[in-house]
Structure 1
Amino acid sequence: MHGTFETMESVDISTKIIDCYTENSQKFTGQYESLTPAEVFGSAISLFPLMPSFTLDIGAGSGRDAAWMARQGHIVTAVEPSDGMRELAIRTHADQPITWVADRLPELKSVQRPEGGFDFILISAVWMHLVPEDRGIAFRRLAELVSANGTILISLRHGTSDPARPMLPIDTATEIENAKLAGFRLAKTVNTEEDDKLGRGDVHWELLQLSLKAEQAP
């Protein structure tokens, strides 16, 4: 665990975070769109699918990654709970055939599983907003949505919290165990101690690539 984090109940934290993103949607969109996916993910960009795939981007924010994947020929569903972020993303990337859904982890009640499941699920800069008790629920829901041979890429933020957007500590070993309990296996870990791409010197990111265990695949 790294840094100091604010703690509160699940409903309170979700409401505060979503409100913050909506109220500051122009600012956050400008920040996110100033970087390319290749800059954000670095060498981990090789973990994205090459062949056209059913793709789910959870917490899609400005739509930067969803639009980039759509341009590669993927069939993209983008989930974003903040009305302000989602509406601005739709306008920003109106030229891309992205299906937008107003929903959020851990339950993702409005997300429709395509036949066979999603081949690739991206969860970037989201997990730290979930309270620990919701993370196990989220992994179980992801196990229902991903395809038998699909992969999930989750970025874990380590560092100090932004008071306006509550973030809770992440212990990587605990999250890997939560994933295994939901039927996943760890395929790859990408741990980067390099500076955050938005210049936050006290923040660094770790990425986990997960896939279903053979006996768990539907």
Structure 2
Amino acid sequence: MNQTTLKYYQKNGKNIAQRYESADVSDLHRVLNASFKLPGTLLELGCGSGRDAAFMAKQGFNVTAVDGSAVMIESAVYYHPELSGCLHTLQLPEELSGRFGKFDGVFSIAALMHFSRPQIETILKQVNALLVSKGNFFFSVPIQRDDIRNDEFDAKGRRFTTMTEAQWLDICRKYGFELIRSNTTKDGLGRKGIAWLNCLTKKSE
């Protein structure tokens, strides 16, 4: 992850976590829950406040969750102490390869856009290697933001790689995933000018 992006989450993680916990994600959670079958082991990339990992754990999944920001991991433990043994501070994409065994599914909510396109491609390649045969990969990324400069950063120093749905799916296919379904949704925090792409894919082999 870009260092200015990581620095932002390290500095503001507690406030960000509080905001994440207040967001209306009921629709997202319904889609997320429907994307995987019990029993199963799941890996979350970029867990933030632990909101989504905790939800999936409550559904009965065995969840491992990682985030690049130690402050966000601390916040996840604070809001969801039941996850404390399942959370790891880990830099993507460098530290993901070879760190874990296989998973039945992988998901990433509002995280992949903080990486450059080459990094995103590396992450998807690693996700494919971490999944069991025919395992599902769900991700949610902004498909529209009106606050990003031409250099792919916002005024707070965070990188946002925004691509079209077709571009995201091209990368998925390149690294061995096929689309199951996708849809776009409004922002859970009610912010105007932001729309989200939610994709469920499956490992091809």
TM-score by structure 2 length? 0.87
User: Tell me, which stretches of 5 or more residues in structure 1 are unaligned?
Assistant: 1-12
Is the Cα–Cα contact under 8 Å of residues 52 and 72 in structure 1 kept in the other structure? no
**CA displacement at 1:45 relative to structure 2:** 3.6
- TM-superposed CA distance for 1:199, in Å, is 1.8
Residue by residue over 1:174-200, the C-alpha shift from the partner in whole angstroms, topping out at 9 and shown as x without a partner, is: 2211111111111111123x3x12121
Q: Deviations over 1:57-105 (max 9, x none)?
A: 1000000111111112211110111011111211221134651111133
Within a 5 Å distance, the mapping from 1:152-167 to structure 2 comes to 152-157=137-142, 158-160=144-146, 161=148, 162-164=154-156, 165-167=158-160
Corresponding residue number in structure 1 for 2:190: 199
Gaps of 5+ in 2: 149-153
Structure 2 equivalent of residue 9 of structure 1: none
The CA deviation at 1:135 is 1.7
CA separation of 1:61/1:204 partners in 2, compared to 1, >3 Å: closer, same or farther? same
Quick one: distance in 2 between partners of 1:179 and 1:107? 19
Amino acid corresponding to residue 35 of structure 2 in structure 1: F
TM superposition outliers: structure 1 runs of 4+ over 4 Å: none
Are 1:62 and 2:49 an aligned pair?
yes
RMSD (CA atoms)? 2.0
- Indicate the SS of the match to 1:24: helix
SS in 2 for 1:16: helix
Question: 1:180: which partner in 2?
Answer: 173
Q: Taking structure 1 as reference, are residues 107 and 148 closer, same or farther at Cα in structure 2, changes over 3 Å only? A: farther
Q: Is the counterpart of residue 35 in structure 1 residue 16 in structure 2?
A: no
Q: TM-score, normalised by structure 1?
A: 0.82
Task: Determine if contact 1:156/1:205 at 8 Å carries over to the other structure.
Answer: yes
Q: Deviations over 1:17-71 (max 9, x none)?
A: 11111111121011111135424x1652453324131011100000011111111
